[in-house]
Amino acid sequence: MTTQNVSDGQSLLERIQPVSGGREILDPATGELVGRAPEADLADLDAAVARAKAAQSGWAARADEDRAGLLNAAADAIEAQAEELAVLLSREQGKPLNGPNARFEVGACVAWLRATASFPVEPEVLLDDESGHAELHHRPLGVVGAIGPWNWPMMISIWQIAPSLRMGNTVVIKPSGYTPLSVLGLVEVLNTVLPADLLIAVPGRGDIGDRLTRHPDIAKIMFTGSTPTGKKIIAAAAETVKRLTMELGGNDAGIVLDDADPAAIAEDLFWGAFINTGQTCAAMKRLYVPDALYDQVCDALVAVAGQMPMGNGLDEGNVLGPLQNRAQWEIVDRLVTAAVDSGARVLTGADPSPEAVDGSGGHFYPTTLIADIDGDDPLVVEEQFGPALPIIRYTDLDEAIAAANALEVGLGSSVWSSDLDRARAVAARLEAGTTWINKHGAIDPRVPFGGAKESGFGLEFGAHGLREVSQPHVISW
């Protein structure tokens, strides 16, 4: 795998592409060539892990404020190239520049780096009395292996890289095969300020990820992706008793209570479900609405959906884009078609253009709202991961809560109400890593995030997230 040398005047894309060969990456909106991605083999991976391992002890020996300072410098470097990164991300992932999309994602990378640099890392005194003294320190783990998905490729990479580096680890990162250029571009920018070999990207397919999860010199895997892949990683990691943070799939429920104001919540409901054109782990993927408000909520959502243009991400007017890849388009189409065939009512969408159906016009699936759908319909119980929201009618709140909790996954959830106390009482009964009230999917670098049940385990963000990429070490006398 030979890549070009960094030199002034080259675009970011030119710097990350191989001199020759590589895998063609196509724009999901147009089918045009975005660029060519280098493909590592297993020997490249082994070499990368060896370099990261050799660099780790020197990095761990640096003062914590030096490491925090370098995270801030990395944030500055991203800011300086923010627009080039956003355009690359938009072209490869498909997400529009505007709305909660590409520019927003690059901005989140900056915000997470700065926040992660700011959290205190202090030893904790656990016991200090006549019986003795005990304190808890957090040591580096070694080399962290990071494996990520294609939906928020830059932001999720930063979630893995920033805490790992802050705690004195080095990182080998394997991007999704669908969005390698975004991660390579990000790593290229970060490495303009980071010392050599702290962060190495190894682009390639699942076999690279599989080897990373078994590698004896990888101390921990931070994985974000689907639950089926997560299960394989958990099994593979057992061989070397690797530490794991698993951020897996979800099928988040939103529950509207009968005292909510449909007009007031409609736009937040919409973005809770359709952020990144529905391709978001903690997006609202099924919405439960009481009889009393059912028609009003449906009408309000249709009105909001009609105001949100979908199209090529580089067009400044668009806020929704294509599905990133054909396989995901097929999943959304299969689930929506099955729902319509079973008698559910289409409020809007569900009518992809002939060009979208045959793939010649990009992977666009129209914004789709489906009403009067059975609670056990596949569009409700499977993760659609695209722009199609089922709206399920309920009469009894206890039954809606039971339905929300009935699946094996539990990433996020939300309750929508004009009465905070009532909403909090319902929230306490939901099985999820996070329950939002009158919003959905709103994350903050200071607030820990993680899944319940088969949505994974381990926490990211904040001081909790820093502890997850460290070895707890008790010293007692």
CB of 315 to ligand NAD, least distance (A): 25
CA 136, distance to chain mean position in Å, is 31
Look at residues 59, 60, 37, 56 and name the one whose alpha carbon lies nearest to residue 48: 56
CB of 143 to ligand NAD, least distance (A): 16
CB of 76 to ligand NAD, least distance (A): 26
End-to-end CA distance of the chain: 52
Comparison of 211 and 467: residue with beta carbon closer to ligand NAD: 211
Task: Answer yes or no: are the C-beta atoms of 267 and 304 closer than 8 Å.
Answer: yes
Comparison of 147 and 389: residue with beta carbon closer to ligand NAD: 147
105 catalytic, yes or no?
no
Q: Which of the following is catalytic: 247, 454, 460, 468? A: 247
Q: Which residues of 353-367 are buried (b: 16+ CB within 10 A; e: fewer)?
A: eeebeeeebbbbbbb
> Which residue's Cβ has the minimum distance to ligand NAD?
209
CB of 9 to ligand NAD, least distance (A): 32
Q: How many CB atoms lie within 10 A of CB 421?
A: 7
Look at residues 387, 131, 397, 398 and name the one whose alpha carbon lies nearest to residue 271: 387
Comparison of 97 and 237: residue with beta carbon closer to ligand NAD: 237
Comparison of 248 and 432: residue with beta carbon closer to ligand NAD: 248
- Give alpha helix (H) positions in 12-152: 12-16, 42-61, 64-80, 82-93, 102-118
Virtual CA dihedral for 85, 91, 93, 99, nearest 10 degrees?
70
Helix (H/G/I), strand (E/B), else coil: 416: strand
Element (H, E) at 452: strand 452-453
Comparison of 213 and 417: residue with beta carbon closer to ligand NAD: 213
CB of 279 to ligand NAD, least distance (A): 8
CB of 465 to ligand NAD, least distance (A): 12
Comparison of 137 and 205: residue with beta carbon closer to ligand NAD: 205
Residues that bind ligand NAD (CB under 6 A): 147-151, 156, 174, 176-177, 205-206, 209-210, 213, 224-226, 229, 232-233, 247-250, 281, 383, 385, 411, 451, 455-456
Sign of the CA dihedral with 308 first, then 316, 329, and 442 last = negative
Helix (H/G/I), strand (E/B), else coil: 48: helix
Q: What does the angle CA 190 – CA 447 – CA 199 come to, to the nearest 5 degrees?
A: 20
Which residues are tagged catalytic?
247
